[in-house]
Amino acid sequence: MTEKTLYDRLGGEAGIRTVVDDFYDRLVADEKLGPFFDGADLDRLRETQTAFLCEAAGGPQRYDGPPVREAHLDVPFEPAHIERAITILSATLADAGVPEEDADRVVGAVGATQAELLATDDE
């Protein structure tokens, strides 16, 4: 018997999409992070984040958006913003019933992009 992949344990694309939709609802509603999304194409962000997490979880989807660094160069994130987003992601995963070990893997995939999220044109 083949062990289920993280992608399968998260419910495949549909399960990941549900988590991403809830995550973005929470980000937009957050008083510190919400302003970053003013005027953003939330449908596109949800699509690219879903593809990113599907790929990171071992699914067949491929992230085809711009490199993380390039996509966020004009966003003035500070480390506290990334930490807040990760806290929100962790809460979203917990509320969705994702086991802690799997949630840690998802958060790790997102956290691995922190340097790119914080990059500036000067670097």
Domain that holds residue 72: 6-118
Check residue 1 and give its pLDDT: 56
- CATH number, domain of 70, equals 1.10.490.10
Per-residue pLDDT of the chain (123 residues; tens, 9 = 90+): 567 999 999 999 999 999 999 999 999 999 999 999 999 999 999 999 999 999 999 999 998 888 888 888 788 889 999 999 999 999 999 999 999 999 999 999 988 888 888 887 765
Check residue 118 and give its pLDDT: 82
Closest CA to 66 of 113, 107, 12: 113
Answer yes or no: is 84 within a domain: yes
Check residue 2 and give its pLDDT: 64
Distance CA 13, CA 53 (A): 9
Closest CA to 89 of 32, 26, 38: 26
Answer yes or no: is 123 within a domain: no
Check residue 70 and give its pLDDT: 83
Quote the number of domains for the chain: 1
Answer yes or no: is 1 within a domain: no
